[in-house]
């Protein structure tokens, strides 16, 4: 049995309309069926993810009149000016209500249509806000990303600035003044920054990268990236410049301290050198660490100090205080921090002069002696 329409039917001619920011779209309301009388319908907008006033011009209970035999009523829906924010697509609704001399429903006409606002903005930002590199690696790769409208060519400059890392060919990193260009459709660009592997113990250093001079786009967040340079260098020092020991002690214990990168096993050489002792004679005063044998002090990962023991000989000679030097040595001069050498004084426990004389009097036998500790 055929269906007879006794009243007009109102509705939109399509379910979705597309429009760009700072533009308008023609919307068409259709009336079908019985057209031999005048009619009207009310149209309004509703927020979905777009907001009236900010993203589009609102419509509130606006009456759309239809004359006899009129089938269409078209008008512009207007979006707001660009907001310079990358938001992606946003949506709001157009809805009809209160039909006069008409109804909603038949003939596939739609009472509510969706308007999609296509975002025209593009922004460029760093891929990460921080980058970390060990100076021994030599380079750090920095990523710059683009979001939003990708149909255009855009560019931005990346500029470096010192924090506590210093720029320059012989400093901590190479100065950065790099232009990143995005072609149509491109979303990611990467480039390398040279990091200089010096021999100086500096601990963690930092420099900044900033986006500047943007073209055909917006600067997004993060607009500043921080680059951390992890130091791979180490330094060594003794814990004192002077040590005093008596012959009966039998030994002197020194502490070697390591600073800087503690991640790996490392070592430093240490040796002794005579000053006023007789270590090279048969009845020596201490057991030397010979330079040509390069006594090795090994630090395990994480260790910051190691002790070195030097044996002292308790002889029966009549001697004044005697001295020898302890020296740290390395092919890399920057690995040595003060103090890198020390003097060890050996006090004899054998004799002293009874009449207050000093010097070599006791050894020369020109004065009487008694057994006393220094």
Rounded CA gap, 198 and 172, in Å? 7
Residue ranges and CATH numbers for the domains of the chain are 8-118 (2.60.40.2030), 123-230 (2.60.40.2030), 235-369 (2.60.40.2030)
Instruction: Check the CA dihedral 332-335-339-341 and report its sign.
Output: negative
Rounded CA gap, 133 and 112, in Å? 56
Report the pLDDT value the prediction gives residue 277, as an integer from 0 to 100: 64
Confirm whether pTM is higher than 0.85: no
Report the pLDDT value the prediction gives residue 350, as an integer from 0 to 100: 61
CB 86 within 8 A of CB 63: no
The alpha carbon of 196 is separated from its chain's Cα centroid by a whole number of angstroms, namely 17
Report the pLDDT value the prediction gives residue 278, as an integer from 0 to 100: 62
Rounded CA gap, 142 and 128, in Å? 8
251-260 and 305-311: which strand pairing?
A: antiparallel
Prior bond of 232 cis (ω within 30°) = no
Report the pLDDT value the prediction gives residue 316, as an integer from 0 to 100: 74
The single residue listed with the structure tokens 């786009």 is 217
Listed in sequence order, the DSSP H helices in the chain are 361-364
Report the pLDDT value the prediction gives residue 289, as an integer from 0 to 100: 87
Report the pLDDT value the prediction gives residue 280, as an integer from 0 to 100: 47
Report the pLDDT value the prediction gives residue 52, as an integer from 0 to 100: 93
Tokens standing for residue 355: 């009449």
Name, in order, each residue with C-beta under 8 angstroms of 169's C-beta and a sequence gap of 6 or more: 196
DSSP string, 192-253: EEEB---S----SEEEEEEEEEEESSEE-S--EEEEEEE---EEEEES-SEEEEEGGG-EEE
Q: Cβ atoms within 10 A of the Cβ of 365, count?
A: 10
Per-10-residue mean pLDDT, the chain, length 374: 66 93 91 92 95 92 95 91 76 95 82 91 93 92 92 93 82 93 95 88 88 92 95 88 91 91 87 76 74 80 92 79 90 83 85 48 42 35
Report the pLDDT value the prediction gives residue 6, as an integer from 0 to 100: 57
């Amino acid at each position: 049995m055929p269906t007879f329409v006794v009243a007009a039917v109102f509705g939109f001619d399509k379910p979705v309309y597309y429009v760009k920011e700072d533009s308008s779209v023609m919307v068409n309301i259709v009336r079908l069926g019985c057209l031999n009388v005048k009619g009207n319908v009310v149209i309004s907008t509703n927020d979905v993810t777009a907001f009236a006033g900010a993203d589009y011009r609102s419509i509130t209970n606006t009456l759309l009149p239809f004359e006899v035999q009129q089938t269409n009523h078209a008008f512009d829906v207007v979006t707001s000016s660009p907001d310079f924010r990358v938001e992606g697509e946003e949506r709001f609704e157009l809805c009809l209500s209160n039909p006069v001399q008409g109804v909603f429903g038949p003939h596939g006409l739609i009472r509510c249509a969706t308007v999609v606002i296509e975002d025209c903005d593009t922004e460029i930002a760093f891929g990460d806000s921080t980058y970390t590199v060990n100076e021994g690696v030599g380079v750090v790769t920095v990523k710059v990303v683009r979001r939003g409208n990708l149909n255009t060519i855009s560019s931005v400059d990346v500029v470096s600035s010192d924090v506590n890392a210093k720029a320059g060919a012989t400093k901590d990193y190479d100065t950065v003044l790099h232009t990143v260009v995005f072609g149509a459709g491109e979303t990611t660009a990467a480039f390398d920054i040279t990091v200089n592997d010096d021999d100086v113990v500096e601990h963690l250093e930092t420099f900044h990268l900033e986006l500047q001079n943007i073209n055909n786009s917006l600067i997004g967040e993060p607009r500043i990236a921080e680059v951390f340079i992890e130091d791979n260098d180490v330094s060594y020092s003794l814990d004192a410049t002077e040590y005093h020991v008596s012959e009966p002690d039998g030994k002197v214990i020194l502490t070697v301290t390591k600073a800087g990168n503690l991640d790996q096993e490392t070592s430093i050489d240490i040796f002794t050198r005579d000053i006023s002792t007789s270590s090279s004679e048969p009845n020596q005063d201490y057991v030397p660490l010979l330079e040509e044998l390069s006594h090795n002090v090994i630090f395990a990962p994480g260790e910051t100090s190691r002790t070195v023991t030097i044996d002292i000989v308790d002889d029966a000679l009549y001697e004044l205080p005697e001295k020898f030097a302890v020296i740290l040595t390395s092919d890399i001069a920057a690995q040595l921090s003060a103090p890198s050498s020390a003097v060890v004084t050996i006090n004899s426990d054998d004799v002293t002069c009874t009449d207050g004389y000093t010097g070599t009097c006791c050894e020369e036998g020109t004065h009487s002696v008694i057994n006393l500790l220094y």
